[in-house]
Amino acid sequence: MLKYAHIIGWGSYLPDRILTNQELAKTVDTNDEWIRARTGIHQRHIAASNETTATIAFEAAARALDVAQINPSEIGLIIVATSTPEYVFPSTACRVQDYLGARRAGAFDLSAACTGFVYALSMAANAIATESVNSVLVIGTETMSRVLDWQDRSTCILFGDGAGAIVLRGSSVPGGVMSSILRSDGSGGDLLRLPTVYNTAIPVLKGSYVNGHHESNTIEMDGRQVFRFATKVVANVIADAVTKAGLTMDDIDLIIPHQANSRIIESAAKKLKISTDRFYMNIAQVGNTSAASIPLALCDAVAERQLKPDNNVVFVGFGGGLTWGASVVKWDVTPPDMEERGSEWRRTRYVAARARSKLRQWQRKTSARLAGSPTPEARLKDADKQGTIAAGDNKERNQSIKKD
Ligand code: COA
């Protein structure tokens, strides 16, 4: 029998540091009025130097587990949607698995840019429906501030950092994720992209010069084209997901869209012939946090009591790829009394999980040393001494850097 995937926990994390439009206008040619009028953004949060995409994801996940009141060992799968992982591998999901001590969980990252959360939610619901797992942690997390060209006023004003997480659990009770629609159009990939350091013939390190170009791994965007794409797809995919769930727009209580630009939402509301009040917006406070934006908005909507049991909510995302998608979810939980959640006890477990992880690393190093094999650090040092790096030929790279 197919199972229903219900949202039983949610949590978010925003870095403390707030960057206002006024502050931004001191370093780049822009102003508060323009940003507010053209995007709806007033401020964004910026990760501290000791925060990473994985650490903020962990904070959001820990809060979601507190609400769900389940232990990390009950999680069968962790899916992290992100475009700003610290590493191509290990995945951010594996790092979160380690921080949580989720010892029975599979873990992987999912790349669908700003639609990542909707894609991950759909994958998680399918995994639950087919009973391959019963509890899934879905996280959207980004440190967009690290991939922005802070001199490019067409992009740096838009994005912010943050993380949001939900816990999904299988049940035979109808409800939860009712439908999902996922779409893509790779022909528009060049409209919004984030190159990696690996996308040239000569692998380079961040910040190097190759063939006369500064190898950027910052976001590149054709804002007008992306705007046009978004206004074309958002209303349609919402309508399709609602129909697929066997509902009509009148049955929908709240739409939680990806927070990219308030004008995109206004256009979608107009096309659907509904009031913009039916869309939840927190873009003014957080900016565009890419894959984190929908779960962050969900947490704010719950905190503001905009969701009640038996409400039907639509999540809709769009972004790089191009990708877009929507899910209809029956909301069936009342926010719990957090006093009774035992979060302190769970926090102690995370400290223990980190200690166990460190111990396992130490054991691995010790047994390697005893067996006479070099440690990973020694291997890297050795490779560097020989003038090679794992990614390719350093010599060729250095020559082209010198030419510039
Ligand atoms: N501050 C002040 N002026 C700016 C500016 C800024 N940050 N950015 C652009 N301008 C200027 C332009 O130079 C241009 O000036 P001109 O008329 O003298 O030539 C004018 O404002 C209009 O520029 P334009 O690029 O047409 O602005 P826009 O109304 O399209 O708004 C975006 C730009 C980026 C806000 C808008 O295109 C957008 O939101 N696109 C979608 C981006 C997005 O959501 N990406 C993520 C998707 S997940």
DSSP 8-class letter at 342: -
Q: What are phi and psi of 325, to 5 degrees?
A: 180, 165
- Name the closest-CA residue to atom 30, ligand 1: 224
Instruction: Name the nearest CA neighbour of 7 among 182, 248, 178.
Output: 178
> What mean pLDDT is predicted for residues 76-90?
96
> What mean pLDDT is predicted for residues 70-88?
95
Percent of the chain with pLDDT over 90: 79
Tens of pLDDT, residue by residue over 331-365, are 987 666 555 556 777 888 899 999 999 999 999 98
Tens of pLDDT, residue by residue over 218-227, are 999 999 999 9
Is residue 128 a contact partner of residue 121, using CB atoms and an 8 Å limit? no
Distance between CA atoms of 396 and 380, rounded to whole angstroms?
A: 19
Query: CATH 3.30.420.340: does it fit domain 4-341?
Result: no
Instruction: Say whether 288 is catalytic.
Output: yes
Amino acid at residue number 103: R
Residues in contact with ligand 1 (CB, 6 Å cut-off)? 30, 34, 38-39, 114, 153-154, 157, 192, 221, 223-224, 226-227, 260-261, 288, 319
What's the Rg (C-alpha) of the chain?
A: 22
Instruction: Say whether 258 is catalytic.
Output: yes
The overall pTM is greater than 0.75? yes
Q: What are the boundaries of each domain within the chain?
A: 4-341, 377-404
Distance between CA atoms of 214 and 130, rounded to whole angstroms?
A: 48
Tens of pLDDT, residue by residue over 34-73, are 999 999 999 999 999 999 999 999 999 999 999 999 999 9
21 vs 373: which has the higher pLDDT? 21
Compute the distance from residue 157 Cα to the ligand 1 centre, in Å. Answer: 10
Tens of pLDDT, residue by residue over 118-156, are 999 999 999 999 989 999 999 999 999 999 999 999 999
Q: pLDDT value at position 274?
A: 96
- Tokens representing 389 are 């790096």
Is residue 257 a contact partner of residue 268, using CB atoms and an 8 Å limit? yes
Q: Which atom of ligand 1 is nearest to the CA of 318?
A: 48
Residue 398 pLDDT more than 50?
A: no
Q: What are phi and psi of 253, to 5 degrees?
A: -90, -35
The residues near 80 (Cβ < 8 Å, ≥ 6 apart) are: 57, 91, 92, 93, 96, 107, 108, 109, 110, 120, 139, 140, 141
Compute the distance from residue 151 Cα to the ligand 1 centre, in Å. Answer: 14
Tens of pLDDT, residue by residue over 189-199, are 999 999 876 65
Is residue 266 a contact partner of residue 241, using CB atoms and an 8 Å limit? no
Instruction: Name the nearest CA neighbour of 290 among 126, 45, 69, 18.
Output: 45
